[in-house]
Amino acid sequence: MARHVVAPVAEIPPGARKVIEAAGKRIVVFNLDGAFFALLDRCPHQGGPLSGGILCGLTQSEEPGTYRFSRAGEFIRCPWHQWEFDIRTGKSWFDPRRTKVRPFPARVEAGAALVEGPYTAETFPVRVEDSYVVVEA
């Protein structure tokens, strides 16, 4: 898998996302409180573009009439049929074993490490003093 420098870290603040194209695939990159995650931008159910969905959390219930909400912003909800996927794993909450979206490794790397090459971003300059989001795809 090739490494793709997709953005300066500051371009995707916490809670934001960016759609990129890498290795011929549309990939959506998320920032969850400083940690970066990348998923294929295609819902495994009917192909909806996940990047167009809203972020949501986990609503659970121990019994009818009581609700517990947690992990706010850590799930992406397909803009078509409302399938929910855990951004950290790509697994759907409803059917984690069979319905999952492909995750790609994503991490932050220092510009100093990147400029040494051969990893040079094509469309923006990589500067030693900044950090960048790198996706393997």
Partner 1 sequence: MNLVRPIAAPGRPAAATLGLVDCDIHPRVRDLGEFRPFLTEAAWHRLATYGIHARHGFAKGYPFPKAAPLACRRDAWPPGGGPPASDLPFLQAQLLDAYGMDVGVLNPLQPSGQGDVNDGLSVALASAVNEWQVEHWLRHEPRLRGSIVVPYEDGAASAEEIRRRAGDPRFCQVLLMSRTSEPLGRQRYWPIWQAAAEAGLPVGIHAFGYSGHAMTNGGWPSFYVEEVQEHATSAQAQVSSMVVEGIFERFPGLKVIMIECGFGWMPSLAWRLDATWKRLKDEVPHLKRAPSEVMREHVFVSTQPIEEPERPEHLLDAMEWIGWDRILFASDYPHWDFDDPRLAIPAFIPEEKRAAIYGGNARRLFGF
Residues β-bridged to residue 135: 4, 106
Question: Structure tokens of 131?
Answer: 């950090």
CA dist 50 → 70, 71, 117 (Å): 21, 18, 32
Q: Is 26 in the site for partner 1 (CB under 8 A)?
A: yes
Q: Is 106 in the site for partner 1 (CB under 8 A)?
A: no
Q: Is 107 in the site for partner 1 (CB under 8 A)?
A: no
* Residue 19 vs 32, nearer CB to partner 1: 19
Q: Phi first, then psi: give them for residue 90, nearest 5 degrees.
A: 85, -5
Q: Is 48 in the site for partner 1 (CB under 8 A)?
A: yes
Q: Is 87 in the site for partner 1 (CB under 8 A)?
A: no
Given the rule CB under 8 A, which of 2-10, 29-37, 66-74, 92-100 is the region that contacts partner 1?
Answer: 2-10
Q: At which residue do the structure tokens 């069979």 appear?
A: 98
Q: Is 110 in the site for partner 1 (CB under 8 A)?
A: no
Please give the residue ranges that form the binding site for partner 1 (CB under 8 A). Answer: 2-7, 19-23, 26, 41-42, 46-49, 52-54, 79-82, 114, 118-124
